[in-house]
Amino acid sequence: MRRISVSENGLWGIGEDTRDYLSDWKERIADYYLVNTTTGQRTLILKAQGLTFGLSPDSKNFLFWKDKDFWIYKIESGETLNLTERAPVSFIGQTDDHPGVKPPYGVAGWTKDGDSVILNHQHDLWLQSLDGGRPTCLTAGLGEKEEILFRYVRLDSERKTIDLSRSAILAAYGSWTKKEGFYELSKGRLKKLVYADEHFDGLLKAKASDRMMYTRENFAKFPDYYVSDSSFSNPRRVTDANPWLFEYKWGSRFIFEFRNKDGRRLQGTLAVPEDRQPDQRLPMIVNFYEKKSQDSHRFPLPLYSNPPQYSVGYPAGNIGPVAEFGAYVSNGYLVMQPDIYFNTRTTHDDMLDCVEAATRKVIDLGYADEARIALGGGSFSGGGSAFIAARSKLFVCVVARAATINL
């Protein structure tokens, strides 16, 4: 067994044996064993099990996902218990459009008293007792009502559990508005701290004082660091990492909505040069992959690169792919990125459907010059670009980069 989770006292562990299930395309599954680390003796506890969430901090329970529910294996008794069969909500990731078994939304953490685990719902957080009783909604259903996604923020990396007797910071994300910010959860009550049309990242808390540090950004605002107290009031910018931005012609970006052929509600982002005149139609570049609208408030750091790089990812010290399309907008182009919803076995048709629907929507909104629209994609969407090039007449130019055609 190549992977094993060892208990706090080191006397036993839970290991996984994948040898009978190795596959390039099937769901990852394994046989799980309880292992005596002194003798090496192993006892089978789960056969052909898929998704797991590991040991509880007290090493008494092993959490896993099976048959659309969360389960635990109790180490001391050897009992297997379905935790969420009595839950009034489903924890299945309904928005996940990948083929295969739909995963849950995830786990926020285990409570300090060792009696419960906090589960992520699509929007809210639910407190689930380890005896399998009905869970309670920690966020009082506000997430579902307002379509705000709440997620627990772990500010102390050394703290392994969540102490519900203390206030907690929750990250907030508007599923359709794309607003972001933070709420405070204290004694069962939610309080809005900051919630704006910006992207927040890299949240850190000082260990010995009530001080927070984080970045905030939008399409035209570089992700500088800010410092405030834990209420996020009176934030003070403490870095000026891109003082040259004001020298350049820039732009703005907004969210628009469209529907695919099945009537599914989808969103796209449109970046517009700052000097566009009212009713002026401009040439447009369309870039796509899977979902992109969640990046609507990310700053597009210009980068000199041979192939176009449209993916956004430059958060707080974590250097990843950066966005070159700010340079296109600066040079007078619209840049549009639509969300794609996939159905099993119709990947390229789904790309064609959503890309064309979003493009026509922007034309109808009066922004794009219908005679000057280009499309580009790379790798996964490179294959989709090649497919669209053979099917669509909306685009005067299509670039398929590193296209994975023969899947």
- For residue 324, the model assigns a pLDDT of 61
Those residues whose C-beta lies under 8 Å from the C-beta of residue 58, and which sit 6 or more positions away, are 8, 114
| Domain assignment present for 37 | no
Look over the chain and give the mean of its residue pLDDT values, rounded to a whole number: 91
Average of per-residue pLDDT across 112-120: 95
The answer to whether position 202 is within a domain reads no
**117 in any annotated domain:** no
| CATH for 259 | 3.40.50.1820
pLDDT: which is higher, 99 or 278: 278
Judged against a pLDDT cut of 90, whether residue 171 lies above it is answered with yes
pLDDT digits 0-9 by tens, 121-132: 999 999 999 999
165 within domain boundaries: no
Checking if the pLDDT of 113 tops 80, the result is yes
On whether the CB atoms of residues 137 and 124 are closer than 8 A, the answer is yes
| Residue 192 is assigned to a structural domain of this protein | no
Q: How many domains, in total, are found in the chain?
A: 1
Q: Is the pLDDT of residue 338 over 60?
A: yes
User: Which structural domain range is residue 282 located in?
Assistant: 246-401
Q: What angle do CA 204, 105, 164 make, to 5 degrees?
A: 50
Q: Is residue 39 part of a domain?
A: no
pLDDT per residue over 314-325, tens digit each? 333 333 333 467
Which region holds residue 293: left if phi is over 0, alpha if psi is between -120 and 50, else beta? alpha
Using DSSP, state whether 71 is helix, strand or coil: strand
Asked, for residue 266, whether it belongs to a domain, the answer is: yes
Task: Specify if 362 maps to a domain.
Answer: yes
Q: How far apart are CA 114 and CA 161, in angstroms?
A: 8
pLDDT band at 26 (very low <50, low <70, confident <90, very high): confident
Identify the CA nearest to 72 among candidates 87, 60, 89, 86.
Answer: 60
Question: pLDDT for 218-274, tens place per residue?
Answer: 999 999 999 999 999 999 999 999 999 889 999 999 999 999 999 999 999 999 999
Mean local confidence (pLDDT), 291-303: 87
